[in-house]
Structure formats: C-alpha cells, structure tokens
Amino acid sequence: MNEGRTVFSQLLDCLPKYEFDKCVSRYGGNFRVRSLPAYEQFLVMAFAQLTWRESLRDIETCLRALGPKLYHSGIRKTPARSTLADANEKRDWRIFADFAQVLIEQAGRLYADEPFGVELKAAAYALDATTIELCLALFPWAKFRRHTAGLKVHTLLALRGHYPTVVIITPSRVHDVNILDQLSYEAGSFYIMDRGYLDFARLHRLHQGAAFFVTRAKKRFACRRRYSNSVDKTTGLRFDQTVVLKNFYASRDYPDTLRRIGFRDPTTGKALIFLTNNFTQPALVIAQLYHGRWHIELFFKWLKQHLRIKAFYGTSQNAVRTQIWTAISVYLLVAILKKRLHLDLSLYTILQILSLTLFEKTPISQALSLSTMQLQLTDMQIQPSLPGFLTGH
C-alpha cells in the first residue's frame, strides 16, 4: 500500500485535512490566494521543522532539489521564499493554533490509558514556561526590558504520552503564575508545577475545583503541623505531615489543610519539600509525580532546537506565532503516529529519524526501525540524567 510513497507522504496520513480546511475557512485563510494555499504552507513549514531548515532560502533550495518527490507529497511546486514570507506574515496564525487544538484532542483520545511510570489512574499534567529570546531591533513588538525582547511559551504537558494539551504564548513580561487564571481544571487530575506558581489564592481555586496540585515549598514557608504520618526512610522520604498555613494573608488565601512531604534523593543528597492537597496517594507517588516534570524540559528542548530561535523565518508577530504553532502541530502529529504504529521509540528519537528519512520511498514503520546500538546512542543524547530513586540505580 505504501510502495512508491515517501515517508513524508505517509506521515501526512495522520493529518485530518478536513479539520484543517475547517480552520482555514473559519479565518478566510485562502481568500484571494493564487500561489500558496494554507494547506501547502503548512506542509512547507512542517518540512522545515522536520528537517531543521535554517532560513527561507534554505527551505526553497531544499524543496527545489526534491523534484517530483515534492508533488507526490502534496506540495504542487516549490514556493518562492518571498511567497512563503508573505504567507507567514499575512495569513492568520490562529488557523494553525486552532488546528493544533484538533491534534491535541486526537492525541488525548489515543493516550488516555498510556502508562507513565507512576502507579496512578488519574490524569497528570506538568505546567511550566520557557522564554524565547528575540533581538529587540528585529522584533520591537516583543519588547521586554530596555534592551531585550522575548516571548514566553506556557505549556501544560500531559504526562501520559508527553504531548502538550494547552499552549499559551505571551510577552516575556507576563509572570508564570498568571497562567493559572486561564486554565480549566479537570476534577481528580494532578497538576505538577514548580515554586514559580506558588500562589495560595490561585491554588485554592484549583482545590475548590476538585483537582490536585503538587508543587515545592519555598525556603521561608511558615506553617503549623497538625499531625504526621510514618514514612519508610529507606525510600528517601523524610516526613509526611498535615499542616495549615501560619501567615495571616497566606492562611486567608488558603484556609484548608495542606500535605507537606520531605524527600532526600539518596543519590544526590538534595533535599526537597513538596506541597499538595492530595491526602490519599502514597507520599512516594507524590515525589515521583513531581519528578515527572522533566518531560516538559525535554519538550522545551525539542521546541527550541526545531524552531531555530536565532533564525526565525519572519520577524512579524504573525510569522513568529505561525512558526511556533506549526512546530507544536508537527510534534503532535508525530505523537499520533507513534501511537497508531505502536512504536516503542521516544518522540524525540522518532523526530530525529524522520529528519533523515523524510523523502525516502519506504514504509514508514521500516524507516523508523533502529538497531539497539543506534537507539542507545540517540537516547544518550536526548535524555537528562535522572535521580537514582526513580531509575533504580
């Protein structure tokens, strides 16, 4: 069935084109367009993300060299770099943002029962943000301080499948904690975040929504202990306490009890103190959930590598947002492919393989097969070191 088709063409089988067309119609994306319709623009930008193209000229040169392979992948002809630049600048970026939401819903259905290394039936999400630094002279609309410019990409990452469920792009001056006001919380789900999101009034609203949070306490955390539970100190746990806030304003913002868990990594010796409103899960599960945040760091690493931050394809706000949302859509598309083909490889490994085999005429499952040695070498390059209490070392 896939004989004679490129890997890129087979990858696009996971793309719900009818949903993309609905997004285009919603914003009139093809109104009076002659040379580069929205779908082809998306394909060209996806090609650029998957193959790490550095510039518009780079994209044009590589596409032109592909010849007839290009036509059979859905791109009728190589767009001139000026045509692609105009499309990125003028075509509404919300087309690509809405389409990413479609892919998020599809990934959510596929990964609903995916295990993620923690014995937990409920959904779990990691919340964090990364800053994309920009040149103030080229991106004056993104001014942050006197001599700097930048954007923040706030992301809520599902730990089952490691795909983003919510992405909010703001100027760098927006503090991370403000994003808590824009999220809708699922009852019974866990939201893992670092100390930058420690705002007791906002966390209490999350608590009232019947959701759970896991975060870290700040150094000057004043509380009054109600009682303590016994812990197995051989696992690294130090204490498991039920506490109430001591300071007047903090106790007013969060009048209910909190669970305070102390943990010391047996390998690194680093001491951590976690806060949560969940009193039913074992203390070690709470520590493991917080450790799951490292997956969002991997996502940000991939996002920055593939966006080529120092060489955006356009300088307007619309062009930058189009490129960011296209990159996120490509990541989600690969996540959907991984689940449909029942692949054991990580998303980061799959993306690296696709960058080398995109226009080979071979079954995509065959192209994604690696020898054990190749897989080990790739994983060593992309994975950070993990604390011993979770890796078993």
Residue 361 contacts residue 331 (beta carbons within 8 Å): no
Predicted TM-score of the model (pTM): 0.84
Q: Which domains does the chain show, CATH number per domain?
A: 7-96+314-382 (no CATH), 110-295 (3.90.350.10)
Listed residue (371, 285, 11, 331) closest to 161, CA to CA: 331
Burial category of 115 from C-beta neighbours within 10 Å (exposed 0-12, middle 13-18, buried 19 and up): exposed
pLDDT by residue (tens digit) across 120-145? 889 999 999 999 888 888 888 888 88
State the maximum Cα–Cα separation within the chain, in Å, rounded to a whole number. Answer: 72
Strands, E, within 112-192: which ranges? 124-134, 149-158, 163-171, 190-192
Q: Is 87 helix (H, G, I), strand (E, B) or coil?
A: helix
Residue with tokens 């996540």, as numbered in its chain? 335
What pairs with residue 212 in β-bridges? 190
Residue with tokens 């060593």, as numbered in its chain? 380
Q: Is 216 helix (H, G, I), strand (E, B) or coil?
A: strand
pLDDT by residue (tens digit) across 215-272? 999 888 899 999 999 999 888 999 999 999 999 999 999 999 999 999 998 777 889 9
pLDDT by residue (tens digit) across 59-106? 999 999 887 778 777 788 889 999 999 999 999 999 999 999 999 999
Q: Kindly state the tokens that stand for 162.
A: 């490691």
